Chains A and B, each alone.
Chain A
């Protein structure tokens, strides 16, 4: 199928375009999005069915609404756009993302926010393994990643910066999160975890949250609740623990010089 560079005129109304992605190859879909990302304000895409790389390498201020299930590497290397996923997301959401926002009204797969350096990701439900691995921060860029539900092993592995929040909303009756090796190799950033952890990496310490943390955490949780229409009071801040690395140089003493 040959990609058409322009959106059909009758699919654009008031700066909002509509694409029916049914049966579309990801290359054609992404080409269509990219080549119109500076001419319309918002694109609503229906019948998204596993197309990879949506929003990948996109530098713009566009708003994308995806209906269905986008494929892997959603918003990879993305720089600026806002993506709303009305459905579940798969692996690699926000891979090496530089800026922008992804909101998932459902769950997400593995390595959400791998190496993201800026922007925000909000996942309403659970996420998979290695969430927030190697997140980092630089200058004014401080990525924020919030998982509403629970996560699997290696949360925040090799984390080097940014803020990772796990709300545990899908854990029933104060159940302990079963994720193992949380924060293994972590050497920067903060993980706020609500509820009980069963296992953490040796590079992190678990502490109670303090006054400064409340100031950081409250607006993040408010933003999460606004997106998903939740009552902020159902997520008391006192139920959070804070995980921070023992050192910014976990392997500094490993070597003989």
Chain B
């Protein structure tokens, strides 16, 4: 069938600058560029280009420019280019349209409608360059009260504390499975987490034995497919996270296509080479809060109650009620992943239309847990499109204990958000299991870039906190008086629990 779909991007090459070095040909994994020996010229197949910028960055003479194809349908506000192209694609294939990364639709980003406070004259601001600023965060249930006793003149803590995770900054690396991302990415995340004193999350694809030595800085995930879930795996992690849902695809399972299940992926997931790794939509031992309680305690039993067990859900309409159930089921930390949450592969229709903004979910969950008097019994980690330190400060003031970053971490490594992760051909060596392409991520350099990002954001967080006259992240948590809304309705302000700017 002839395809009616036109190229989305046009590759322009300045022939005056092109030295025929063929770097672009070697770098492109989509087979876009080719050399024509007859005319001694490099040409491009525009229809293959995904605008990943790999050739642009690596062209030594900067001869390449990628332009969006300006030849467009007679589109209008309702029938956009994207809509028309999608229909043509489905008419040609009969398939569900896949995509990667997070929702790119213009749903509100509430972070941009929230502004932060700063001290002026009264409650003076603190200079983080001179004064100590505390970003260290403990994740896990806190006791209702502390009982102390005097023993031989020393104060001794009598209350038995629940297991806690200690991170030096409230930024953790989000769940990205080995299989969705390459081994070198997992290795870089683990190294950066260990170096900076934070945590990475395995995602649902298990953990390669070579990374076991970083176990103290790794949260191991247990999802419905139970890939790679063994006793050794559960024991090696600093914490266990039960994955119920994911912001990019709430309510549906995951399919890692068989062609990505290489020998190494097979070893980590503990399944045969080449078979699909299917994660069913629900855990089939969890159909209720009581069942969730059962799995949480099965994991605690299996690991002798020495580490926190958390639960991750996608932010949906009744997140607050579910979160209450999760806490009562024994979740030591809960993870809320918003509508902007990212993915290696998801049906586009799900990614773009299912779920709610993380800002609203976080505010309503925190509020609900406070009202019920159980907020101290869990920690809240939010994720789903966290772009920078300002988003993090706003999230913590709205009630989060910490955030997960996924997309931002990958961008630090080289990702340009071309949204083609599902092809497994990521030219940046990130979202691929191809051993040859994976080498493009140098774990040492990638880890350094990640540590730099954590350091930069942590400094910015300290600056913002200092400006508010706050010197400890504890004092910022749930401190909604430091937030004001602009351009929001009364209902939105009420759900966010913040005042209008000027009030």
Chain A interface (Cβ within 8 Å of chain B)?
26-27, 30, 34, 52-53, 56-57, 59, 72-73, 76-77, 79, 91-92, 95-96, 98, 111, 114-115, 117, 130, 133-134, 136-139, 141, 157-158, 160-161, 185, 187-188, 248-257
Q: A57-B231, A76-B298, A77-B231 are in contact. Are A256 and B276 (CB under 8 A)?
A: no
Q: A77-B230, A96-B229, A130-B284 are in contact. Are A56 and B294 (CB under 8 A)?
A: no
Which residue of the partner chain B has the closest CB to A59? B231
What's the least CB distance linking A251 to chain B, in Å? Answer: 6
Which residue of the partner chain A has the closest CB to B305? A27
Residues of A within 8 Å of B229, CB to CB, are 77, 96, 115
Q: Give the contact stretch, choosing among B72-80, B90-98, B410-418, B455-463.
A: B90-98
B270 interface contact, C-beta 8 A: yes
* A249→B275 contact, CB < 8 A: yes
* A27→B271 contact, CB < 8 A: no
Give chain A's interface secondary structure class. Answer: loop
CB proximity to A under 8 Å, residues B58-114 = 89-90, 92-98
Residues of B within 8 Å of A251, CB to CB, are 255, 276, 278
Size category, B interface:
35 or more
Residues of A within 8 Å of B276, CB to CB, are 187, 248-252
22 residue pairs from A and B, CB less than 8 Å apart: A56-B298, A57-B302, A57-B304, A76-B298, A76-B302, A77-B234, A77-B299, A79-B230, A79-B231, A91-B285, A98-B230, A98-B231, A111-B284, A133-B280, A133-B284, A134-B284, A136-B270, A138-B272, A161-B271, A187-B275, A249-B276, A255-B97
A59–B233 CA distance with the chains assembled, in angstroms: 13
Count of A-B contacts with CB under 8 A? 132
Chain B interface (Cβ within 8 Å of chain A)?
89-90, 92-98, 224-226, 229-231, 234, 255, 257-258, 266, 270-272, 274-276, 278, 280, 284-285, 294-295, 297-299, 301-304, 347, 422-423
What's the least CB distance linking B286 to chain A, in Å? Answer: 10
A4–B385 CA distance with the chains assembled, in angstroms: 49
Residues of A within 8 Å of B284, CB to CB, are 111, 114, 130, 133-134, 157
Which residue of the partner chain A has the closest CB to B275? A248
What's the least CB distance linking A30 to chain B, in Å? Answer: 6
A223–B266 CA distance with the chains assembled, in angstroms: 30
* A257→B422 contact, CB < 8 A: yes
A105–B272 CA distance with the chains assembled, in angstroms: 33
* A248→B98 contact, CB < 8 A: no
